A and B are shown apart, each in its own frame.
Chain A
């Protein structure tokens, strides 16, 4: 019997997992402030494969300039440990984010992705994301070679 895949909250007691999974998975390194942030809100989730934490997503509402109501859910980071990919964990994250957008009456989900990592870009496209624009040098501060990013967008 395959283990179940379930989402659970990030709490002060397990928030170290967010940093750990991100750091071993993503090409960029976030600042300590990113993890210190008390914004471990309803948009952030851990994914458990059986009893083992294997993935994590962190997202927030984005308010456009000159407005006071958010119109975008922005995924700040989404990571699944390498051996646990292809099991539907990432898809469950996206479904969860879509659902959250729906609850907040928001119709767009966006995120940045490293342009060079075609595999990842393809995966998002498979989930229905389209390239909205190319952002040159987005990852320059992180010291990545060819630091361009793609802004991906999903209409929900």
Chain B
């Protein structure tokens, strides 16, 4: 081996270096570090030792020093395989998978003979979604270890995700013969069954006939999966009769799966046929599967309310459940509430039923419960309250009634009483975790964070901590963390105490961390699933991971963060950390005591010194922080989504540097949601803007605005804001807050507010400038 600039006696150091590597592998970082330093003392050009030193320091948590030596290693050893390999491992540990991939690649390019780097590289490329390059890496590694089935599987999956299904199938066929007689253990049998179905799934993508041929008489552990694939193939080949027979077979296995009914109708081509014909089908199915819900439910979705068949069927559907006092009856009919004619019929049926229930106490109260939910859904809050109150008066021992009453009160805007009611219900059954968490949620809604935490802590693993906050973060209890964060944000708005702004951001960031963990958790599966052969599940996992940052929870955290960072940008905050020296002795003691108490109440991570989130608030570039910490995840993963572009518009407009980014965001919003109620706000912000002053920007804006009728802003507003719902009023308020001369929106806002529920009104009123 020849080293650039290495002296002839390098051999001795090579020996020492090997020893140091072994020590590192057995996690003896201090000893390994010592040896690396020893080498460097003798030979300051030995870049492998620099990289190993950096890696050891990183594992000893000396992050800054580690980076210094990493940089030295990069300068001195950029063409050396071992240096690059070790740097790749370092970057992987740091979670920087892009750079890790670069270093692994460099190690291989510069002649590393360590073939396992190909596997490491493939995993990084998968993690980075550089699917194109995975094939080469998996292929190279397979060539170095052809005796393992998982390596063939890995290559096949690499082809699959690149949509080269032919190659995916061919790869697996090659190994099939080799392993045929060697499948013995249970694990191997499962693996074989899974990989085989994966092969057929790939095959079906290009040649459904061939796939069907193999599916005939297939022996597999996943019978359902095989049948679904079979039905799918028949549909592809338009052999509808065979397809419908297969779906009926599936229904026999699981008559509660709604999807199968839909597919069956697709195969029969009955979806757009007459209601009468479809009724015939479902009545037959209902006879076969009398205990299943779908054949009774689905006809109610396609029958028109005016159809004479509708009312009697709805009656027997609803009453069958009310007679058994099923608490979820309302949930089950809720889908019909989009159709007011159907709602009227449901109301009539249930009120009639209630009239004859004097002597059946349980049916009586649960029907009251149903009606309360019914009126709540219709926004008739007083009626809702009347019915739930009557239910409680009749049978005060049923916990669900208190949950519902609390919910009705919440809609009335009375959060304090709402908490009291739900907590009373909770005390009736202290073992009920569901009620416990709901109560904690309501306390958060009422900004009573201490009570929220105390309540939820009755069910968390608290170990040595005084409450469950740390456990909730470890267990990724995002429902609590987000409610807690939003409560802090509201508290800031009420008190203007910057402490709460920091705490809010801390919680929102807690959500981001959870989703980042979801993302890194994939790492193990790139290997694990290949070994187990569970490729179909693996493909689903990859697809799901590609949507995590557009999940409702992540979006909520993001919205909260946008709110918080714009506050940091626009409001003058009280000093986050009061200068300690300014205080007198007594004040100092009091302050320390307060800090200790707060630490107990608010510290979410062990050893987190910045538990207030001071460092999150005390930033010079809030918008930059917003992008890096919160926004980029969503914007990278779903660049065309409405929310991403709404935020992008707001951000780039505020930054005021690149008008093209602002306009492209607007265009994407209009494209994805042409009736978006915020369009007048965006258009008028641009029309009245003062941020972009150069002539090119102004021209671009002018050109974009040509599409909109702007002679009278009122016309523009009226063409988008047609409804009187929460979102529309919010859109109007945004326009109002632009303070455009001559535009009087307040009377209209006030009028529309009158139609909203009390708690929505108070939320919106706060936003009016």
Interface size on B, residues (CB 8 A): 14
Which of B79-87, B228-236, B428-436, B607-615 forms part of the interface with chain A?
A: B428-436
What are the residues of chain A within 8 A of B325 when measuring CB–CB?
Answer: 50
Which of A9-17, A115-123, A135-143 forms part of the interface with chain B?
A: A9-17
Bound form: Cα–Cα A50–B427 in Å: 21
**A53 lies within 8 A of chain B by Cβ:** yes
Q: Please determine whether A17 and B362 come into contact, CB atoms closer than 8 angstroms.
A: no
Q: Please determine whether B394 and A83 come into contact, CB atoms closer than 8 angstroms.
A: yes
Q: Please determine whether B429 and A81 come into contact, CB atoms closer than 8 angstroms.
A: no
User: What are the interface flags for B356-370 relative to A under an 8 Å C-beta threshold, 1 for contact and 0 otherwise?
Assistant: 000001101000000
**B280 lies within 8 A of chain A by Cβ:** no
Main secondary structure of the interface of B (DSSP, over half): loop
B401-433 residues with Cβ-Cβ distance < 8 A to A are 427-431
Point out the residue from B395, B427, B431 that lies within 8 Å of A52, measured CB to CB: B395
Q: Please determine whether A14 and B430 come into contact, CB atoms closer than 8 angstroms.
A: yes
Q: Please determine whether B397 and A81 come into contact, CB atoms closer than 8 angstroms.
A: yes
Point out the residue from B394, B396, B429 that lies within 8 Å of A14, measured CB to CB: B429
Point out the residue from B361, B430, B431 that lies within 8 Å of A84, measured CB to CB: B361
What are the residues of chain A within 8 A of B395 when measuring CB–CB?
Answer: 52, 54, 81, 83-84
What are the residues of chain B within 8 A of A14 when measuring CB–CB?
Answer: 428-431
What are the residues of chain B within 8 A of A49 when measuring CB–CB?
Answer: 361-362
| CB contact under 8 A between A83 and B361, given known A17-B397, A21-B397, A50-B325 | yes
**B398 lies within 8 A of chain A by Cβ:** yes
Q: Please determine whether A53 and B362 come into contact, CB atoms closer than 8 angstroms.
A: no
A48-69 residues with Cβ-Cβ distance < 8 A to B are 49-50, 52-54
What are the residues of chain A within 8 A of B431 when measuring CB–CB?
Answer: 13-14
Q: Please determine whether B362 and A13 come into contact, CB atoms closer than 8 angstroms.
A: no
Point out the residue from B361, B397, B430 that lies within 8 Å of A53, measured CB to CB: B397
B350-383 residues with Cβ-Cβ distance < 8 A to A are 361-362, 364
Q: Please determine whether A20 and B428 come into contact, CB atoms closer than 8 angstroms.
A: yes
**A24 lies within 8 A of chain B by Cβ:** yes
**A3 lies within 8 A of chain B by Cβ:** yes
Main secondary structure of the interface of A (DSSP, over half): mixed
Bound form: Cα–Cα A20–B399 in Å: 12
Q: Chain B residue with minimal CB distance to A84?
A: B361
Q: Please determine whether A12 and B428 come into contact, CB atoms closer than 8 angstroms.
A: no
What are the residues of chain A within 8 A of B364 when measuring CB–CB?
Answer: 83
Tally of contacts, chain A with chain B, CB under 8 A: 40
Point out the residue from A3, A16, A24 that lies within 8 Å of B362, measured CB to CB: A3
User: What are the interface flags for A10-53 relative to B under an 8 Å C-beta threshold, 1 for contact and 0 otherwise?
Assistant: 00111011001100100000000000000000000000011011
Q: Chain B residue with minimal CB distance to A83?
A: B361
Q: Please determine whether B429 and A52 come into contact, CB atoms closer than 8 angstroms.
A: no
What are the residues of chain B within 8 A of A12 when measuring CB–CB?
Answer: 430
Bound form: Cα–Cα A13–B325 in Å: 25
Most A-side CB within 10 Å, residue of B394, B395, B397, B429: B397
Q: Please determine whether B396 and A16 come into contact, CB atoms closer than 8 angstroms.
A: no
Q: Please determine whether A20 and B429 come into contact, CB atoms closer than 8 angstroms.
A: no
Q: Chain A residue with minimal CB distance to B361?
A: A83
Q: Please determine whether B394 and A24 come into contact, CB atoms closer than 8 angstroms.
A: no
What are the residues of chain B within 8 A of A54 when measuring CB–CB?
Answer: 395, 397
Q: Please determine whether A52 and B430 come into contact, CB atoms closer than 8 angstroms.
A: no
What are the residues of chain A within 8 A of B397 when measuring CB–CB?
Answer: 17, 20-21, 52-54, 81
Bound form: Cα–Cα A24–B325 in Å: 23
Q: Nearest-CB distance from B312 to chain A (Å)?
A: 24
What are the residues of chain B within 8 A of A24 when measuring CB–CB?
Answer: 396
Bound form: Cα–Cα A52–B362 in Å: 8
Q: Nearest-CB distance from B335 to chain A (Å)?
A: 27
Bound form: Cα–Cα A21–B397 in Å: 8
User: What are the interface flags for B427-450 relative to A under an 8 Å C-beta threshold, 1 for contact and 0 otherwise?
Assistant: 111110000000000000000000
Q: Which residues of A contact B (CB under 8 A)?
A: 3, 12-14, 16-17, 20-21, 24, 49-50, 52-54, 81, 83-84
Instruction: Name 10 A/B residue pairs within 8 A (Cβ), A-sorted.
Output: A12-B430, A13-B430, A14-B428, A14-B430, A14-B431, A16-B430, A21-B397, A49-B361, A49-B362, A52-B397
Given A16-B427, A49-B361, A81-B395, 12 more A-B residue pairs with CB atoms under 8 Å apart are: A13-B431, A14-B428, A17-B397, A21-B397, A24-B396, A49-B362, A50-B325, A50-B362, A52-B395, A52-B398, A83-B364, A83-B394
The 10 lowest CB-CB distance pairs between A and B, nearest first, are A83-B361, A13-B430, A53-B397, A13-B431, A16-B427, A16-B428, A24-B396, A84-B361, A83-B394, A14-B429
